[in-house]
């Protein structure tokens, strides 16, 4: 989780002598703009270009799960900001902490100008290590409540506009806001109605969370096989907090808008329900704050997605075509002869597109019980179809010979997630 702070602002004399100390924020949107914000995507998360008080622009995580903006200690110094103010904040664990804060006169990104914004000052070593680079801070959703936030994950674009969503569009659903002013969407898990309890719940849209779906304990007990939760998945935040959460299989398909996601896993024992970029990156997500609507759009019109980790494929990545990133030992994919770095040329007869790039979910037919993966046999450059069952069963599968027992040395162009291209060499031996 990227943020761990829930702010206690406007607490009378407790915080800095009252709210009168802090100026009123103001947000403007440039009229006639296409709304595009300069951005790139790292690990599926949007990193946007923004200027602080007219200084040379820096890079910031764009986080719909943050109701406050943040600057690193180094960025505050670089931008010449005073950091002599402070306030007590409460984290999700209930522990209070005194933290430095500052006022930023003007923040500009794309068509947006934010004025008189409160920023908190934080250290982000663990998160920057996770990204593999240093960013200057986090820009959250505060001040953008009446605009439309457009996060086109497959095409790696960010925009802020005044466009309204059509409530009659089947991909559009209503959302609610809570006291923290963040966006919570309704979810359903098919087959989760147990002992008369509702299977429906809501989750916060969190573009600053690397995970897919995270559940609090009570929700996890209702909609997942909580008692069989296993594995320990790390969650690293900007404040240096590293936590490990068990993963549980949902009891049925996760219904998000008009799309059903089968084979999704959830991190459990967390503080709140959240949808992170592990799921959001499969869609173009538009949040129309003025209308209280959010859409989850697929350019292929998919009504059903299936988690590839269920049959043992972590994801595909691009290196001279789409290739398998990792294969889980003993999984269906492993037993049927697939290997890491195998080149995938078709999924159910269709060539891979950006919709499967670095994601763990593939489009399948509503009634599909298998998915057919076509890979290149490097020994003779032929193509081989591998039919993978979607029922997770490995009992009746006998181990087959690997289609590619070794892989050729390859020199080519690596296309990384932010769309840049770098020439590199890779030497891979199975």
**Confidence class of residue 235 from pLDDT cuts 50, 70 and 90?**
very low
Torsion of CA 47, 49, 53, 56, to 10 degrees: 120
Whether the predicted pLDDT of 321 surpasses 60: yes
**Confidence class of residue 3 from pLDDT cuts 50, 70 and 90?**
very low
In terms of Cβ atoms closer than 10 Å to its own Cβ (0-12, 13-18, 19+), residue 363 is buried
Residue with the two structure tokens 């890079």: 59
66 closest CA partner among 156, 110, 157, 127: 127
For 409-426, how does the pLDDT look when each residue is reduced to its tens digit (9 = 90+)?
666 666 555 555 555 555
Q: Does residue 419 come out as left (phi exceeding 0), alpha (psi in the -120 to 50 range) or beta? A: left
Of 344 and 93, more confident = 344
Whether the predicted pLDDT of 241 surpasses 80: no
148 closest CA partner among 252, 297, 354, 260: 297
* C-beta separation of 281 from 152 below 8 A: no
Q: What does the alpha-carbon distance between residue 222 and residue 202 come to, in Å, rounded to a whole number?
A: 13
Instruction: Please identify, in words, the CATH class of the domain defined by 5-146.
Output: mainly beta
For 204-218, how does the pLDDT look when each residue is reduced to its tens digit (9 = 90+)?
999 998 888 999 988
- Homologous superfamily (CATH) of 172-297 is Acid Proteases (2.40.70.10)
What is the three-state SS of the chain? CCCCEECCCCCHHHCCCCHHHCCCCEEEECCCCCCEECEEEECCEEEEEEEECCCCCEEEEEECCCCCEEEEHHHHHHCCCCCCEEEEEEECCCCEEEEEEEEEEEEEECCEEEEEEEEEEECCHHHHHHHCCCCCEEEECCCCCCCEEEEECCCCEEEEECCCCCCCCCCEEECEECCCCCEEEEEEECCCCECCECCCEEEEECCCCCCCEEEEHHHHHHHECHHHCEEEEEEECCCCCEEEEEEEEECCCEEECCEEEECCEEEEEECCCEECHHHHCCCEEEEECCCCEEEEECCCCCCEEEEHHHHCECCEEEECCEEECCECCCCHHHHCCCCCCCEEEEECCECCCHHHECCCEEECCCCCCEEEEEEEECCCCEEEEEEEECCCCCCCCCCCCCCCCCCCCEEEEEECCCCCEEEEEECCCC
Domain ranges of the chain: 5-146, 172-297, 311-426
What pLDDT, on the 0 to 100 scale, is given for residue 179?
81
Among 88-102, 240-254, 314-328, 397-411, the minimum mean pLDDT is found in 88-102
One fold for both 5-146 and 172-297?
Answer: yes
For 174-205, how does the pLDDT look when each residue is reduced to its tens digit (9 = 90+)?
999 988 889 999 999 987 655 544 578 999 99
Q: Which CATH number fits domain 311-426: 1.25.40, 3.30.70, 1.10.3470, 2.30.42?
A: 2.30.42
What pLDDT, on the 0 to 100 scale, is given for residue 345?
96
Whether the predicted pLDDT of 279 surpasses 70: yes
What pLDDT, on the 0 to 100 scale, is given for residue 224?
86
Of 394 and 298, more confident = 298
**pLDDT mean over 62-83:** 91
For 344-374, how does the pLDDT look when each residue is reduced to its tens digit (9 = 90+)?
999 999 999 989 988 899 999 999 999 999 9
**Mean pLDDT (the chain, rounded):** 83
- 122 phi and psi angles, rounded to 5 deg: -135, 160
What pLDDT, on the 0 to 100 scale, is given for residue 99?
82
Whether the predicted pLDDT of 298 surpasses 90: yes
What pLDDT, on the 0 to 100 scale, is given for residue 4?
39
Q: What does the alpha-carbon distance between residue 413 and residue 371 come to, in Å, rounded to a whole number?
A: 29
What pLDDT, on the 0 to 100 scale, is given for residue 10?
36
């Amino acid at each position: 989780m990227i943020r761990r702070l829930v702010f206690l602002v406007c607490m009378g004399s407790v915080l800095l002598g009252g709210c009168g100390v802090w100026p009123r924020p103001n947000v403007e949107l440039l009229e006639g703009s296409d709304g595009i914000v300069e951005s790139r995507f790292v690990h599926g998360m949007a990193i946007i270009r923004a200027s602080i008080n007219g200084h040379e622009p820096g890079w910031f995580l764009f986080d719909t799960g943050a109701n406050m903006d943040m600057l690193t200690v180094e960025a505050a110094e670089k931008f010449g900001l005073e950091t002599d103010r402070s306030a007590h904040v409460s984290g999700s664990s209930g522990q209070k902490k005194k933290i430095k804060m500052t006022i930023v006169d003007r923040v500009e990104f794309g068509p947006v100008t934010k004025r008189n914004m409160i920023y908190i000052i934080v250290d982000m070593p663990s998160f920057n290590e996770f990204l593999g680079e240093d960013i200057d801070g986090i820009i959250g959703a505060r001040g953008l409540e009446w605009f439309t936030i457009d996060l086109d994950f497959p095409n790696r674009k960010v925009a802020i506009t005044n466009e309204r969503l059509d409530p009659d569009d089947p991909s559009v659903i209503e959302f609610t806001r809570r006291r923290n002013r963040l966006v919570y969407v309704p979810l359903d898990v098919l087959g989760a109605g147990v002992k008369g309890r509702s299977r429906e719940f809501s989750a916060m849209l969190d573009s600053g969370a690397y995970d897919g779906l995270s559940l609090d304990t009570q929700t996890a007990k209702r909609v997942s096989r909580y008692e069989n939760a296993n594995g320990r998945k790390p969650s690293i935040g900007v404040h240096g907090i590293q936590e490990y959460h068990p993963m549980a299989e949902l009891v049925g398909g996760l219904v998000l808008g008009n799309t059903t996601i089968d084979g999704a896993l959830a991190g459990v024992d967390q503080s709140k329900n959240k949808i992170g970029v592990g799921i959001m990156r499969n869609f173009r997500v538009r949040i129309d704050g003025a209308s209280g609507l959010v859409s989850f759009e697929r350019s292929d019109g998919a009504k059903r997605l299936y988690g590839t980790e269920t049959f043992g494929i972590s994801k595909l990545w691009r290196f001279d075509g789409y290739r398998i990133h990792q294969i889980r030992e003993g999984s269906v994919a492993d037993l049927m002869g697939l290997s890491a770095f195998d080149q995938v040329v078709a999924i159910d007869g269709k060539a891979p597109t950006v919709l499967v790039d670095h994601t763990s979910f593939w489009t399948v037919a509503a009634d599909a019980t298998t998915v057919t993966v076509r890979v290149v046999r490097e020994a003779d450059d032929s193509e081989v179809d591998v039919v993978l069952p979607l029922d997770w069963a490995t009992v009746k599968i006998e181990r087959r010979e690997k289609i590619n027992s070794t892989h050729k040395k390859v020199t080519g162009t690596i296309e990384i997630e932010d769309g840049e291209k770098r020439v590199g060499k890779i030497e891979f031996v199975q």
